[in-house]
Amino acid sequence: MDLQLTGKRVLVTGASKGIGLAIVRAFLAEGAVVTAASRRRTPELDATGATFVAADLSEPDGPRRMVETVLATDPRLDVLVNNAGGGTMPDGAFDDPLDGKDVDWAGAFALNLGSAVEATRAALPALTESRGVIVNISSDTARRPVGVPLQYAAAKAALNAFSRGLAEKVAASGVRVNVVTPSGTRTNLMEGGDGYIAQVAAHLGIDHADLLTAMPGQNGMLTGTLIDPDEIARAVLLLSSPTMPSAIGSNWVVDAGALKTA
């Protein structure tokens, strides 16, 4: 199936590993021209051949500077994938019902919501010119806020609301906005020694590997395994494709059945 992505100019944030890296690879395989943005580059990202832009999107001007850098080399932009995000538990927060202090909440919202809002704000004129696409990467915890830092789940829920409202506002200009919602995916958040699940395992006094094995079943994932990032990337490709012009304001769930609502 030809997704008509050849030659499309794509910007992917949070691209150095995990879901972002898989999205970069998927677009390149379709013949797109990809710029990959993240705080730092990785050997895996370098191996893709994508253009790299260093950007800390948690900083107030980080998203705007990133977009300006990308558009300075070519003013055309067809697809923006707001993938940057993540969450860890602040020190001592496991015994706090709010999962952290004001600064922790502000940081989580800056990365998981603010970065997408400000990158979109900066990129929207170029995307309007190209009648382009925005795909935001959310989380099933936005609808099921358990087992993760509360500020992360709340920020992702806000991202969903932002995406749906924006889709209504920009559809007339030809820009399509959609969301992909994964459940537990094989990323550093889950598998990394410094990720959130490693923090949970240490807090509970259990082995990280044992917790990872049990998690999919405990979370209601019917496959019993974590999701491969390539699956999320394929959903992003479809939503970005000109062959899907009626996919507007949608939220595609790729969760192995974890969300139990119709």
Q: Pairing relation of β-strands 9-13 and 33-38?
A: parallel
pLDDT of residue 158: 98
pLDDT of residue 171: 98
Predicted confidence (pLDDT) at residue 211 exceeds the cutoff of 90: no
Domain presence at residue 260: no
Domain presence at residue 1: no
Domain presence at residue 97: yes
Place 44 in a pLDDT band, splitting at 50, 70 and 90.
very high
CA distances from 169 to 17, 41, 132, 163, 249 (A): 32, 35, 14, 10, 10
Choose the catalytic residue: 27, 52, 109, 152: 152
How many structural domains comprise the chain? 1
pLDDT of residue 64: 98
pTM: 0.94
pLDDT of residue 164: 98
pLDDT of residue 195: 80
pLDDT in tens, 103-118: 999 999 999 999 999 9
pLDDT of residue 199: 86
pLDDT of residue 95: 82
Range of the domain at 29: 9-254
Domain presence at residue 2: no
Residue range 77-89: mean pLDDT, rounded: 92
CA distance 236 to 178: 9
Query: Average pLDDT of the chain?
Result: 94
Q: Quick one: what percent of the chain has pLDDT higher than 90?
A: 80
Residue range 230-254: mean pLDDT, rounded: 98
Predicted confidence (pLDDT) at residue 93 exceeds the cutoff of 80: no
Domain presence at residue 242: yes
CA angle (195, 28, 85) in 5-degree steps:
25
Domain presence at residue 262: no
Place 192 in a pLDDT band, splitting at 50, 70 and 90.
confident
* Three-class SS of 38-96: ECCCCHHHHHHCCEEEECCCCCCCHHHHHHHHHHHHCCCCCEEEECCCCCCCCCCHHHC
Q: Is 196 a residue of the active site?
A: no
Segment holding 151, helix H or strand E? helix 150-170
Domain presence at residue 259: no
Q: Quick one: what percent of the chain has pLDDT higher than 70?
A: 100
Domain presence at residue 207: yes
What's 168's domain CATH number?
Answer: 3.40.50.720
**DSSP state at residue 256:** T
